[in-house]
Amino acid sequence: MKKIPDFIILAMIMAFMVGCTEKPIEVNKYTIEQFYDNLSIGGGSFSADESRLLVSSNQSGIYNVYTLKVDGSGEQQLTFSEEESFFAESYFPEDDRFLYSADKGGDENNHLYLQEPDGTVTDLTPWEGANSQFGGWSRDFKDLYLVSNKRDPRFFDMYKMDLEDFDPVLIYENKENLTPASISNTGRYLTLTRDITMSNNEMYLLNLTTGDIKHISEHQGDATFSPADFSLDDQYLYYISNEGSEYTYLSSYHLETGEKLKVYEADWDVSYTYFSFNAKYQVIGINEDAKTVVKVIDTASGEEVSMPDFGNRDISGVSISRSEKLIRLAAGSPTSPGDLYMHLFGEDDFTRLTHSLNKEINEADLVAGEVIRYPSYDGLEIPAILYKPHGASSKNKVPALLQIHGGPGGQSRLGFNSRTQYLVNHGYAILAVNNRGSSGYGKTFYNLDNKRHGEDDLMDCVKAKDFLEGLGYIDMDKVGIMGGSYGGYMVMAALTFQPEEFDVGVNLFGVTNWLRTLKSIPPYWEAFRTALYDELGDPFTDDSVRLYEISPLFHAHKVTKPLMVLQGANDPRVLQVESDEIVAGVKENGVPVEYVIFDDEGHGFVKKENQIKGYGQILVFLDKYLKGMEEE
């Protein structure tokens, strides 16, 4: 036998000794209160003099409206709500008045409010039970546009309000069950869409002067069309479509000739586009493998404008001032909430306006998500985002939690999430699964779960366990599943139809009875109803048999693993009774069930105190039933 050289033996011994003495990486553990002391900031409407930005921030515990000075010298709180979240919409174009929107306890009946500089507030849409939304300003700054279903709860009409008297004037009465989209710069044209299926719709152009409606999306096969913006002279409509392609791209439509031209295409979905006020710049957003890539194009040269380098932070959104000299940038990362920055076109530097990460948290203690892919039961590649806790190793195995997004048709994306980081910080690996049917990966992938919900998409989640096992640092006896809305349905589907695959489930306002949910969708989803029924099934037809079979409520007796349910009492999409009944059904099995209801929330939780309570209890639940830790 050949003798192994002494230096190789020595190297092997040293490597063995290092492996035996390896210690888990020490990281600071943070409380739920610390994670939810991070700020969530959005918006960025410029004031008329371009010295301030109007934003929404939850620093008061719920969202209120603030103004930030563009030179970074300070902020001012403008609204002081303690019960309902107020969301900034826009400064008035020529003065310091501003608009904000709010509903009541998450009921989604949004109102649009005007606040004067002296603090006086007027509800511009005081219509009981109506959902009203800001639709922008006329280019001459004399009117504002809004859409509302006040006339008929099923249909959204478009109105114009004069900025002097604010009387709503109906400019489009929706008798065709269409959806109003963008209005042209001259105010002459309005785009409309009609959903046929989730993967097929139509686009129309309404001449508001003559009343003529033109069908401008005639096509073969399935394709989607989304109006985006008009050229300044109203000669062209820019829209996003996937006609003849897996991914959406940007096209133009000549309003007189009907000529269509492809303008911009990427290897991923083009998500949105718009022009700056005088069309000096065009902004294009791309959904690139679960993160947003923003491009700013100089329309004269066609060249991309360079943006500041934020290191590990990605620019996720921009707004450009009316003078086209300033650009507000939103940038963040999976380890830091999004912050706002101000940049002067042509300069190299930028001004940071916000610091959203709690100062008590060391960003190095947090974990950046990694995009991975794994094969499902049929070989289909499933995208997902993996969060590996610091210190997890083959000698220090950790429990894992699948995280399933809402929808159907949503997408788990790279970006900061306080709840995810909280759980990872406390030793849980998270795999955020983009099962078949998720958006962002082409229309074929998007349609693979049609009328297969609770079956193929569920198996994508089950097969994620094979990937987790292959990592070598997951304790495969401690794997749970968590999700919200449609993801909550997937949790209950897993616990009922694959009852031995996952060790616990956390259901956040998830559907459990498809028959009830599809019969009781909010009235303002009327334009979406046909497409929803095409994908999931029509509860008023023979589809009801399958919908019964895939509804976890009717199979609750199969649940054997601990369950936690969180629900908002005002949820108009997934009614509280859905959660009430599944909790009662599972309790009959003698299975541990914890139920948390928030009387002042809807479809999702926006108040910090509720997030702290609910998400804090998730960790307690997981520690007890997944980790097997004794309660202190």
Structure tokens at 20: 């035996």
For 72-123, the pLDDT digits (tens) are: 999 999 999 999 999 999 999 999 999 999 999 999 999 999 999 999 999 9
Mean pLDDT across the chain, nearest whole number? Answer: 94
State the average pLDDT over residues 135-158. Answer: 96
At residue 464, the 3 state secondary structure works out as helix
Written as six digits, the tokens of 76 are 């001012």
Residue 580 lies in a domain: yes
pLDDT at 23: 54
Q: How far apart are alpha carbons 306 and 102 in whole angstroms? A: 37
Q: What per-residue confidence (pLDDT) applies to 10? A: 38
- What is the model's pLDDT at position 24? 57
Q: Does 593 score more than 60 pLDDT?
A: yes
Does the residue 362 lie in any domain?
A: no
Instruction: Report how far residue 97's alpha carbon sits from residue 116's, in angstroms, rounded to the nearest whole number.
Output: 5
Both tokens assigned to 438: 């998720």
| CA separation for the pair 300, 306 (Å, rounded) | 15
Q: How many domains does the chain have?
A: 1
Q: Using CA atoms in the order 8, 10, 12, 16, what is the torsion angle rounded to 10 degrees?
A: -170
**What CA–CA distance (Å, rounded) separates 299 from 275?**
9
Whether the per-residue pLDDT at 33 is higher than 70: the answer is yes
Q: Which amino acid appears at position 471 of this protein?
A: L
CA distance linking residue 18 with residue 25, whole number of Å: 14
Closest CA to 183 of 144, 125, 222, 129: 144
CB atoms within 10 A of CB 231: 17
The residues, any chain, with a CB within 8 Å of residue 328's CB and separated by 6 or more, are: 44, 46, 53, 318, 319, 320, 321, 340, 341, 342, 343
Tokens of 273: 């586009």
Residue 304: Cβ within 10 Å count: 11
Token code pair at residue 544: 């009801």
Other C-beta atoms within 10 Å of 595: how many? 17
| pLDDT for 19 | 43
Q: Is the pLDDT of residue 521 over 90?
A: no
- As a whole number of angstroms, the distance between CA 487 and CA 225 comes to 27
| Nearest in space to 520 (alpha carbons), one of 455, 580, 585, 571 | 571
Question: Which residue type is seen at 145?
Answer: Y
Q: Please check whether residue 6 lies inside any domain of the structure.
A: no
Instruction: Place 8 in a pLDDT band, splitting at 50, 70 and 90.
Output: very low
Residue among 179, 184, 223 nearest 204 (CA): 179
Note the pLDDT of residue 278. Answer: 97
Lowest mean pLDDT among 8-12, 219-223, 335-339, 377-381: 8-12
Residues 6+ apart with CB under 8 A from 108: 131, 522, 572, 573, 602, 603
User: How many C-beta atoms lie closer than 10 Å to residue 136's C-beta?
Assistant: 13
H/E segment holding residue 16: helix 6-21
Structure tokens that stand for 455 in this block: 């079956």
Length of the chain (residues): 632
Residues 6+ apart with CB under 8 A from 24: 390, 391, 393, 396
Is residue 40 in some structural domain? no
Tokens matching residue 522: 């909010």
Q: With CA atoms as reference, report the closest residue to 491 among 478, 476, 506.
A: 506
Structure tokens belonging to residue 318: 């921009």
CATH, residue 382:
3.40.50.1820
Q: What is the residue range of 564's domain?
A: 367-625
Residue 4, pLDDT above cutoff 90: no
Rounded to whole angstroms, what are the CA distances from 555 to 485, 493, 559?
19, 9, 8
With beta carbons less than 8 A apart as the criterion, state whether 365 and 390 touch.
Answer: yes
Q: Are 145 and 166 in contact (CB under 8 A)?
A: no
What is the sign, positive or negative, of the torsion defined by CA atoms of 289, 290, 296, 300?
Answer: positive
Peptide bond into 408 cis (omega under 30): yes
Are 414 and 313 spatial neighbours (Cβ–Cβ below 8 Å)?
Answer: no
For residue 348, what pLDDT is reported? 84
Local confidence band at 524 (pLDDT 50, 70, 90 cut-offs): confident
pLDDT band at 471 (very low <50, low <70, confident <90, very high): very high
* Beta carbons of 525 and 574 less than 8 angstroms apart: no
* Confidence band, pLDDT 50/70/90 cuts, at residue 538: very high
- pLDDT bucket at 628, cuts 50 / 70 / 90: confident
Q: Which of helix, strand or coil describes residue 558?
A: helix
150 membership: H or E segment, kind and range: strand 143-152
Can you give the pTM of this predicted structure?
Answer: 0.92
- For residue 180, tell me if it sits in a domain: no
Assigned token pair, 57: 């921030």
The partner residues of 155 in beta bridges, in order of sequence, read: 152
Mean pLDDT of the region 596-625: 97
Residue 629's pLDDT is 73
Extract the tokens encoding 340.
């706002």
Strands 52-57 and 41-46: antiparallel
Quickly list H helices, 474-607: 486-497, 514-519, 526-536, 543-549, 576-587
Q: Per-residue pLDDT for 456 more than 90? A: yes
Residue 537 in domain: yes
> Cα(589)–Cα(288) distance, rounded to whole angstroms?
44
For the cut 90, the answer to whether the pLDDT of residue 630 exceeds it is no
SS3 content of the chain, % helix, strand, coil (to 5): 20, 35, 45
**Do residues 436 and 457 make contact, with C-beta atoms less than 8 angstroms apart?**
yes
Domain presence at residue 248: no
Q: What is the pLDDT of residues 553-578, one digit of tens each?
A: 999 999 999 999 999 999 999 999 99
Task: Single out the residue of 302, 278, 353 nearest to residue 70, CA to CA.
Answer: 353
Bridge partner residues of 18 (DSSP): none
For 388-422, what is each residue's pLDDT tens digit? 999 999 999 999 999 999 988 999 999 999 999 99
pLDDT tens for each residue of 273-303: 999 999 999 999 999 999 999 999 999 999 9
What value does the mean pLDDT take over residues 49-60?
A: 97
Pair 403, 483: CB distance under 8 Å: yes
What's the CA gap between 337 and 330, in Å, rounded?
Answer: 10
Neighbours of 274 (CB within 10 A): 18
Which one, of 292, 308, 256, 300, lies nearest residue 275 by Cα?
Answer: 300
Residue 171 lies in a domain: no
Residue 87 amino acid letter: F
